[in-house]
Amino acid sequence: MTLANGTLSGFSGSGTSYTATFTADDGFDGTGTVTVPAGSYTDAAGNSGAVGSDNVDTSLTDSDNNSVVNFTSSEATTDFVEADVTLANGDALGF
């Protein structure tokens, strides 16, 4: 997991849909990226999950430093956890 320039908190959800909030650190201005590596979680049948990645927000600043992050899978997951998320320009805290 890459940790820098913010926090990811309030992780919640189940099945195929999860949500967390990315909050940039004071002074950070830019785009955060969240990545879930392939094979880091499984579905109910035991199949490994695929890689997924997306930008958090293109305009995180001191005055607008929060962005909701949604994780959606095509099938219900059984073991999707904090350690499955890799962040560029952010920290994963408070899962």
Which pLDDT tens digit goes with each residue over 70-95? 788 888 888 887 777 776 666 665 55
- Is 21 part of any domain? yes
- Is 1 part of any domain? no
Per the structure, the count of domains in the chain is: 1
pTM, 2 dp: 0.64
Q: Collect all residues with Cβ–Cβ distance below 8 Å to 85 and sequence separation of at least 6.
A: 1, 8, 20, 34, 35, 36, 71, 92
Burial of 42 (0-12, 13-18, 19+ CB in 10 A): middle
Domain assignment of residue 72, given as a range: 6-88
Q: With bands split at pLDDT 50, 70 and 90, how would you rate the model's confidence at 23?
A: confident
